[in-house]
Amino acid sequence: MITDSDLVAALTASLLPQGVAVAAQIVAPPKGDPPEVEASAVQRAIPQRRAEFHSGRDAARRAMVHLGVTPQPVPMANDRAPVWPEGLVGSITHADGMCIAAVALSTTLAGIGIDLEPAAPLPRELIAEVTTPPERTWLQDQPEAERGLMARLIFSAKEAAYKAQYPLSQSLFGFDGMTLHIDRDTARFTARFTAPQGPFARGQTLAGRYVHAAGVLVTAVTIGHDAARGNRE
């Protein structure tokens, strides 16, 4: 279980540009009554899911305070994505008892995606589902003892990239909708669209960063306002 929220927040903030506020906290049942628009979204969920949901929303409001804006509810849309207050973009993630939220002004960025994972190998049975053939070739070139963790990195990076682009594309697609290039020397990656998705062209890339420290793996992707103009390579 991840227990150091200050460390997790600092690791996440190190991946993001200026103008993005981050908050992290341990998942716990809400203190007091959550906003009705949030409580109604998970009223039928199991207690653990409710705790994760409300902790993530609490972290989002703390991030809003850090950003210097009035904290507001973050409802859940029918597609389960967060509905950010007007003028804000953001992302929420949780794993192993910890949640993180990152928030920025929509004038600063067009999209943010973050993902938190335990620094543990991805289960073998998921690798074929998560990875594309070029990614599996790359995995085979990694030291054998590290391949499971690198597969987890691919999973996490795709999650972060998907979250960042979804508010712009409103497109649902699987793990084969992007293929990754990871540079372990710089702890950076790019996620390339394998098909057109909303404003994103086939071949367009999103840039991300990752950190592996203190038993966690955190990935982050941000999208600038020029993204819709494309960056085909």
Known binding-site residue numbers for Mg(2+): 115, 117
Which residues on neighbouring strands pair with residue 22, listed in sequence order? 102
Nearest to 150 by CA among 120, 126, 113: 120
Binding positions are: 49, 57, 93-94, 115, 117, 159, 163
**144-148 own/partner pairs: CB under 8 Å, 24+ apart:** 147/121, 148/120, 148/121, 148/122, 148/124
Q: Are 187 and 211 within 8 A, CB to CB? A: yes
Q: Give the C-alpha separation, 10 to 120, whole Å.
A: 20
Q: Are 20 and 102 within 8 A, CB to CB? A: yes
Q: Are 149 and 123 within 8 A, CB to CB? A: no
Taken in order 111, 117, 122, 125, the sign of the CA dihedral is negative
Taken in order 43, 82, 165, 210, the sign of the CA dihedral is negative
Binding positions for CoA are: 49, 57, 93-94, 115, 159, 163
